[in-house]
């Protein structure tokens, strides 16, 4: 009973926060920045997508480690489903970024920009994870080997998006020049009031979608298990 | 027989297999020479320094992917249970990783030589720096590829190692290319160079640490 109420709570919270983001996000007063102008509102969509992806991949990592520790199939199924949702959010992050780039930098993609290439490479790492999963027929081998790859992939992904941008100097991304964070990014208090709820809202939505997918996959798995 | 002797015995077995049918050696020699020649023909003999660097690492990495695919091929089936009764996963991994490192290092040095023959030696005064970079890079590359080739050894798909290996290698490749270009440029301040070496060393430590831990789970059939 109590778990039902808790899940109702965070799911409602997610919807409320997202409605707030989409609603107030277009009405909030923005700072006067050249080049960016009104497109700075994309901050409430583009950046939270990446936060959601990172959180989902983190959950996937923890789930993979749990699988290796306990050999319970449900952890492997959770790892795969969360990674799939994270991947979709990563694609959305790239799409929102491309729209933003076209408006502010004049091009859909800039090959010299390290963060863009890092983001695309990160998606490739997880696409390889799904391909690896598809290549195994035996369930326990698939689960074990993809858990091993997931752990390795997550570490390399963190290197890719956190270490590499810090060691290259120039970047078109606002607030960069060695620091991939957005602290120097002129986030004034008005933007913060929508930004933080947006991150929470989008992450909760991603988690909600992955729990639904997880439940579907568990039903499928149990049904095959019972028939076998 | 203690651990070191076991590792050496496994290593000797691999070297002997290799010496008898020479698949990996022929592989890297032909691969490196032919790809370099194709690059020479397409670029009409002239490469700028950044292009030299990037193409070098691409040729080396694809060659390593080829040699790493067959690393664990023989270790499945009956051989698997036999080897498993002889040595612990750590020893097996150490011997395979060492063997892969030796093969890969020879490949990288050969590629350096062949690239210098075709496109000129761009590291005239900095051989030690280049040697150190190749050593650090090949250490990381060979360890990752040893781990991944253990993952894909049981599948029938020949390109699976390339599919899962290349995205995971991208951060290391980026660091190596950037580091190599910093070596070529003379005006780099020493602090920046030390930074780069430290990043490479730390990444190698992380890779080796992860590979050793994760290999236990792969090997536990």
Chain segment A31-60, per-residue pLDDT in tens: 777 777 788 888 889 999 999 999 999 999
Say whether pTM exceeds 0.90: no
Axis-axis angle for helices B49-69, B23-42 (nearest 10): 150
Mean pLDDT calculated for residue range A123-145:
89
Alpha helices in B120-189 (DSSP H): 127-152, 160-184
Per-residue pLDDT, B155 = 78
- Identify which of A23-27, A78-82, A134-138, A156-160 has the greatest average pLDDT: A78-82
For the residues B85-110, what does the mean pLDDT come to?
A: 89
- State the nearest Cα–Cα gap between B27 and chain A, in angstroms: 25
- pLDDT beyond 70 at B94: yes
- Mean pLDDT over residues A186-190, rounded? 70
- The confidence score (pLDDT) of residue A222 equals 86
Please tell me the distance from the alpha carbon of residue A129 to that of residue B100, in angstroms, as a whole number.
24
Element (H, E) at A173: none
pLDDT for residue A71: 87
Q: State the pLDDT at residue A62.
A: 96
A175 or B178, higher pLDDT: B178
* ipTM of model: 0.87
Q: What does the alpha-carbon distance between residue A228 and residue B16 come to, in Å, rounded to a whole number?
A: 46
Contact flag B168-A156 (C-beta cutoff 8 Å): yes
Q: What are phi and psi of A27, to 5 degrees?
A: -110, -20
Q: How far is residue A199's CA from residue A206's CA, in Å, rounded to a whole number?
A: 11
pLDDT tier at B70, thresholds 50, 70, 90: confident
Instruction: Say if residue B59's pLDDT is above 60.
Output: yes
Note the pLDDT of residue A180: 44
How far B91 CA sits from the closest chain A CA (Å)? 19
User: Which B residues 124-183 touch A at CB under 8 Å?
Assistant: 144, 147-148, 151-152, 154-155, 157, 160, 163-164, 166-168, 170-172, 174-175, 178
Interface list for A 58-87 with B (CB within 8 A): 68
What rounded mean pLDDT belongs to chain A?
85
The pair of three-digit structure tokens given for residue B135, joined into one six-digit string: 């050593």
The reported pLDDT for the residue numbered B83 is 77
Q: Across the interface, do A135 and B157 touch by the CB < 8 Å criterion? A: yes
Task: Tell me the average pLDDT across B141-161.
Answer: 87
Greater confidence (A16 vs B25) lies with A16
Average pLDDT for A106-125:
84
Q: Which stretch, A99-113, A135-149, A156-170, B67-81, has highest mean pLDDT?
A: A135-149
The reported pLDDT for the residue numbered A174 is 61
Please give the biggest Cα pair distance in chain B: 57
Half-sphere exposure in the Cβ direction for A225 (13 Å, CA):
10
Query: What are the φ and ψ backbone dihedral angles of B58, each rounded to 5 degrees?
Result: -65, -45
The contacts of residue A117 (CB under 8 Å, 6+ apart) are A111
Residue window 112-141, chain A: list those with CB within 8 Å of chain B. Answer: 114, 121, 124-125, 127-129, 131-132, 135-136, 141
Span A66-78, average pLDDT = 92
Residue A190: per-residue pLDDT: 78
pLDDT higher than 80, residue A165: no
Lowest mean pLDDT among A65-74, B43-52, B166-175: B43-52
Predicted pLDDT at A184: 43
* Cβ neighbours of A128 in B, within 8 Å: 163-164, 166-168
Q: What pLDDT does B133 receive?
A: 92
């Amino acid at each position: 009973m109590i778990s039902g109420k808790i899940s109702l709570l965070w799911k409602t919270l997610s919807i409320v926060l997202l409605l707030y983001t989409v609603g107030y996000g277009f009405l909030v007063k923005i700072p006067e920045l050249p080049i960016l102008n009104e497109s700075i509102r994309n901050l409430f969509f583009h950046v939270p997508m990446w936060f959601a992806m990172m959180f989902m991949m983190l959950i996937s990592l923890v789930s993979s480690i749990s699988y290796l520790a306990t050999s319970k199939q449900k952890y492997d199924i959770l790892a795969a489903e969360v990674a799939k949702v994270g991947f979709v959010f990563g694609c959305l992050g790239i799409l929102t970024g491309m729209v933003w780039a076209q408006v502010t930098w004049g091009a859909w993609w800039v090959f010299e920009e390290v963060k863009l290439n890092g983001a695309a490479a990160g998606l490739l790492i997880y696409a390889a994870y799904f391909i690896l999963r598809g290549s195994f027929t035996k369930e326990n081998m698939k689960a074990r080997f993809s858990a091993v790859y997931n752990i390795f992939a997550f570490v390399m992904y963190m290197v890719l998006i956190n270490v590499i941008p810090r060691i290259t100097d120039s970047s078109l991304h606002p607030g960069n020049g060695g620091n991939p964070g957005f602290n120097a990014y002129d986030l004034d208090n008005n933007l913060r009031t929508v930004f933080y709820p947006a991150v929470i809202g989008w992450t909760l939505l991603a988690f909600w979608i992955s729990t639904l997918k997880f439940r579907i996959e568990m039903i499928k798995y149990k049904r095959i298990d019972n028939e076998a | 027989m203690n651990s070191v002797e076991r590792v050496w015995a496994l290593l000797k077995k691999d070297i002997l297999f290799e010496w008898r049918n020479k698949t990996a050696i022929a592989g890297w020699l032909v691969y490196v020479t032919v790809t370099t020649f194709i690059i020479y023909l397409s670029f009409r003999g002239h490469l700028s320094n950044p292009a030299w660097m990037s193409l070098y690492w691409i040729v080396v990495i694809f060659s390593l992917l080829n040699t790493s695919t067959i690393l664990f091929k023989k270790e499945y089936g009956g051989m698997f249970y036999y080897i498993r009764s002889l040595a612990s996963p750590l020893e097996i991994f150490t011997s395979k990783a060492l063997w892969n490192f030796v093969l890969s290092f020879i490949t990288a040095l050969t590629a350096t030589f062949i690239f210098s023959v075709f496109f000129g030696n761009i590291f005239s005064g900095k051989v030690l720096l280049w040697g150190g970079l190749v050593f650090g890079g090949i250490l990381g590359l060979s360890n990752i590829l040893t781990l991944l080739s253990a993952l894909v050894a049981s599948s029938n798909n020949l390109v699976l190692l390339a599919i899962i290996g290349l995205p995971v290698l991208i951060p290391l490749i980026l660091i190596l290319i950037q580091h190599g270009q910093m070596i070529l440029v003379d005006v780099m301040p020493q602090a920046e160079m030390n930074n780069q070496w430290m990043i490479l060393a730390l990444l190698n430590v992380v890779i080796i640490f992860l590979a050793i831990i994760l290999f236990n789970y792969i090997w536990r059939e």
